[in-house]
Amino acid sequence: MNEIELRNLVKESGVRLVKEGLVRGTWGNVSVRFDETSMIVTPSGLDYLSLKPEDMVLVDINTLEYTSENKPTTEKKIHAAIYRERPEINAVIHTHSPWCSSMAAAHTEIPAVTDEFVKLIGGEVRVAPYGLPSTSKLTNATVSAIRDRKACLMAGHGVLVCGESLEEAFEVCKMLEESAKNFISDRVSTILGKEEVGLKEIKEAFERASEI
């Protein structure tokens, strides 16, 4: 794809994040590798639904320099670090999907319970220790947690996934969110002694646990 096509692809991916409930407002970010030395990323603090392809930012993955009037996502360091370390990766997505974010907040790994999960993601999904946004601590922790995987949780920040294409990265997002939902539901149903539980019961279980 040429630069215009990739810019449009990133823009459409931002809209898809919102429509599929993986982010709210301006949270989260998306990038694709443009060439060996640069990436195209979503801008910081702008509504995905109003973005245009020209609003995407071309960023050097080695120097993090850019010439656009728009500022790139504040987590550009993480995106760039993954592209530098893993030449097979061509897309990175950071989301705040609710089930994964819950597990990230609880510092709990998502286990690899199916062959399909292992094939797509690589194994259990680790949790990167908390770091302040845009810091080297957060970047290093995240890159370490996602090493030899297609996803990791970010304590206090949500989830980061990557793929050889944006479509693969989205498949990882969806599988991860479903797996996190099943994990939490199974744990809560065991606690409550019920075969099936709903969101209301899960919320009540979390509230009770926080009081202990």
In order of their start, the domains of the chain are: 3-211 (3.40.225.10)
Tell me the CB-side half-sphere exposure of residue 136, using CA atoms within 13 A. 0
- C-alpha dist (Å) from residue 165 to 30, 134, 150, 212: 12, 24, 11, 44
| Terminal C-alpha separation, the chain | 54
> Looking at residue 208, what is its pLDDT?
47
- Residue 193 structure tokens: 């002694």
What average pLDDT does the segment 106-129 reach?
96
Statement: the pTM of the whole predicted model exceeds 0.85: yes
Q: In whole angstroms, what is the distance from residue 60 CA to residue 76 CA?
A: 10
133-181 per-position pLDDT tens digit: 889 999 999 999 999 999 999 998 999 999 999 999 999 999 999 999 9
55-86 per-position pLDDT tens digit: 999 999 999 999 999 999 999 999 999 999 99
Rounded to the nearest 5 percent, the helix, strand and coil shares of the chain are 45, 15, 35
Q: In whole angstroms, what is the distance from residue 130 CA to residue 141 CA?
A: 8
pLDDT at 47 over 90: no
Tell me the CB-side half-sphere exposure of residue 115, using CA atoms within 13 A. 0
* 104 burial level (CB within 10 Å; 0-12, 13-18, 19+): buried
- C-alpha dist (Å) from residue 176 to 7, 36, 127: 26, 28, 13
Any idea which residues carry the catalytic annotation? 75
Residue type, 186: D
Taking alpha carbons only, the member of 25, 42, 24 closest to residue 166 is 42
42: number of Cβ within 10 Å: 28
What 8-state DSSP symbol labels residue 71?
Answer: P
> Looking at residue 5, what is its pLDDT?
96
Q: Which residues pair with 91 in a beta bridge?
A: 32, 163
- Residue 105 structure tokens: 């907040």
What 8-state DSSP symbol labels residue 59?
Answer: E
pLDDT at 211 over 50: no
pLDDT at 190 over 70: no
